Amino acid sequence: MRWALVKVSLAVTVMVVLAFAVPLGLVIKEMARDRALSNAERQAAAIGPTLSISVERASLEHAMQSTLAGAANRMAVHIPASKEQGGRPVEIGTRRVSRADLDLVEQVPRASTTKVAGGSALLQPIAINADDIAVVEVFVPDEDLSRGVTTAWLMLAGVGIALIVGSVAVADRLGVRMVRPAQRLAGAAQELGEGRLGVRVPEEGPTELRSAAIAFNAMADQVVQLLANERELAADLSHRLRTPLTVLRLNAASLGEGLAADQTRAAVEQLEREVDTIIRTAREAKPQTTAVGSGSGCDASEVIRERMGFWSALAEDEGRTVRIAGVDRPVRIPVARPDLAAALDALLGNVFRHTPEGTAFSVDVHNGDDAVIVLVSDAGPGIADPAAAMARGNSGGRDGSTGLGLDIVRRVAESTGGDVRIGSSVLGGTEVRIWLGLDPRGGGRDERRRGHRGSDRRRTLIPAGRRGRLDDPVS
């Protein structure tokens, strides 16, 4: 396209230059000729007064020498025969025209130009009396007829070449401005097709190409979002399998000894490794590109009561003391119910996996005006490096962990403008604090800076033997 524009511009400019330069050059040539002949006419007219007074040779030669043409021997005077001159014609100067040309001018007294060797001759008739007409001949050489024409033509040629070069340069720049965005768009489309999803096109150039770039970038963002959502879905679904896997592992641990028990435990371990592989593969394919949306929201108290009803059964089997607080009334949060359930299952599953049997844990809910804080605490050994535990792909450096539990929790919190922090709990172990903003714009961050100052709500103890019952009133 770029060279096509250059060729079109070159052809059009050349035609325009020729259309104007050729006629203008011819006009300049004709003007130079007219200027030279007009000057010859003025010099021929300069001796007219002398001819009207006297036709004596001496007087005429003196008058001729006073002109430029006469001084350069380019002028001649032809006087017809008369009684005063003894019936003989008189010629002063060098004649260059033929006798027939002179006779024609004498018969038809009108100025004319005749081509002669080396130039042209102007024949100017002048009446010397009522019957006789003298002819003044002025020779104009070719260099006078074309004086300044070559210079003018060179100037026209230079201007024409400058116009052609300028038009080609402008067409090339316009072509680059049009072609370069198109080339970038084509290259980006090829890179996107090869799997480089981070490629984007600068939104510049002509309006049409800018619109195409905007559409391409939007399409690429949509592709990245769809792929990221697909990977997150695969990872989240795989991670949610950990809850039933935890149940299977605990049940397998109680089977005792024997070939069937060993095979069951080995199968559970193999299944856990496969789930970890699926999660790790989905996470490492590409980093997350979009935050988890808030969905339609849910009642945090209801979700916590439901999930604690499930985990309290496992807690009873392992002799764990479970406490919950702050779930006595509805607490609306801008998080979808399945997402909050997955986050709670991930945290509680970590408690069961990474603390000894009999370790107590608790779940506290603190409802503020602009934020909801969920605390999951345990009385276990704690986490030596909380920052490393929050890093994706690592959960405190423990074997067999992908770190996705805390990553799921973090995404849920960040979707509301909140965050997740790990610290020491009042029970002596680990405390995971989930800060959920109630303002969809992510407001209320002062609450996050204030941190947890404790709760004045009474905690409910779930003793062993009351499996799955969370119907005690909590104030």
Per-residue pLDDT tens over the stretch 175-222:
777 778 888 888 888 888 887 878 888 887 778 888 888 998 888 888
350 or 205, greater pLDDT: 350
pTM, entire model = 0.40
The answer to whether 42 and 66 have CB atoms below 8 angstroms apart is no
CB contact at 8 A, 86 and 66: no
Specify whether the CB–CB gap between 433 and 373 falls below 8 A.
yes
- Are 449 and 474 spatial neighbours (Cβ–Cβ below 8 Å)? no
pLDDT higher for 51 or 402? 51
pLDDT digits (tens, 9 = 90+) for 367-425: 988 899 999 999 988 887 777 777 654 444 444 444 556 878 888 898 888 999 998 88
Q: Which amino acid is at 114?
A: T
Show the beta-strand stretches assigned E in 42-178: 75-79, 90-93, 112-116, 119-127, 133-141
Q: How confident is the model at residue 438 (pLDDT cuts 50, 70, 90)?
A: confident
Q: How remote is the C-alpha of 338 from its chain's centroid?
A: 40
Per-residue model confidence as pLDDT tens digits over 30-47: 898 888 888 888 888 888
pLDDT in tens, 318-349: 899 999 999 999 999 998 888 888 888 888 88
Beta strands 371-378 and 430-437, pairing class = antiparallel
Each residue's pLDDT tens digit, 78-134: 888 765 555 677 888 888 888 888 888 888 888 888 888 888 998 988 887 777 788
Q: How far is residue 467's CA from residue 469's CA, in Å, rounded to a whole number?
A: 6
**Contact at 8 Å (CB) between 470 and 324?**
yes
> In 3-state terms, the chain is what percent helix, strand and coil (to 5)?
55, 15, 30
Residue positions counted in the chain: 475
What phi and psi, each to the nearest 5 degrees, are found at residue 131? -110, -25
> Which among 293, 350, 353, 304 has a CA at the least distance from the CA of 331?
304
DSSP assignment of 392-408: TT-STT-TT--SHHHHH
Q: What is the mean pLDDT of the chain?
A: 78
